[in-house]
Amino acid sequence: MVNFEAVGDIIKNMAKTSVDARKHIREWSRFFGEMQDVGVSLMEEFLRRHEKRKYLKQSLKRLIQKGFVYQKSDSFRLTPAGLKLFKRFSPALAPKNHGKWDGRWRLITFDIPVRLNKKRQTLRNLLKDFNFYLLQESVWVCPNILPEKFWDLLVDLEVDKYCKVMLVDILEGDEALKDYFHLPQF
């Protein structure tokens, strides 16, 4: 989880001035947009066309070092912490309600071993980022159809094997959830 009190420290180390650092982060958040996973060739093309490519390359390296961007052999991917950081600078990254509700609930339960506490916390943060509501311990619910990026992040975090996903038509006592998510009462 991003500690936003520490964002100032993060920004301080991203560029010579905090103004430049904020510009770089906004530039990267616009670049990633809603993709959150971009190929190396697209990244190289973006940097090649940018007039401040030297500084953007430096800030990208710092984002990778600080764990906000993960570099794979063929792509760059935002981590959950990177998604949160970029959301702060670009509201376009916030998960959206994807149209009319289909009347079904998406439930995710998980049982992650204690030795993987950090992964458990990362999963909780991911669920919050994607508008899930804590129904009870280790049981989360959401009315939205989940985008592919959500499933990709579950796999990348290596927590998919600890999760069970259910698509539910009837959920006892869902009136309060409908109120919480501003959904129509059927």
Orientation of helix 80-89 relative to helix 117-129, angle to 10° = 40
Tell me the C-alpha distance between 52 and 47, whole Å. Answer: 8
Query: pLDDT band at residue 94, thresholds of 50, 70 and 90?
Result: very low
Helix, strand, coil: what percent of the chain each, to 5? Answer: 50, 15, 35
Q: Name 165's bridge partners.
A: 108
Tens digit of pLDDT for each residue in 133-183? 999 999 999 998 888 888 888 887 888 999 999 999 999 988 889 888 888
Q: E-assigned strands of 72-160?
A: 75-78, 105-110, 133-136, 139-142
Delineate the domains of the chain, giving CATH numbers in brackets. Answer: 7-93 (1.10.10), 105-180 (3.30.70)
Q: Quote the distance between the C-alpha of residue 121 and its chain's center.
A: 13
Of 140, 142, 147, nearest to 181 by C-alpha is 142
What span, in angstroms and rounded, lies between the C-alpha atoms of 171 and 155? 27
Tens digits of per-residue pLDDT, 6-61?
455 555 566 666 667 777 777 787 777 666 677 887 788 778 877 778 888 888 88
By the 8 A CB rule, do 123 and 158 touch?
Answer: no
133-145, pLDDT tens digit by residue? 999 999 999 998 8
pTM: 0.52
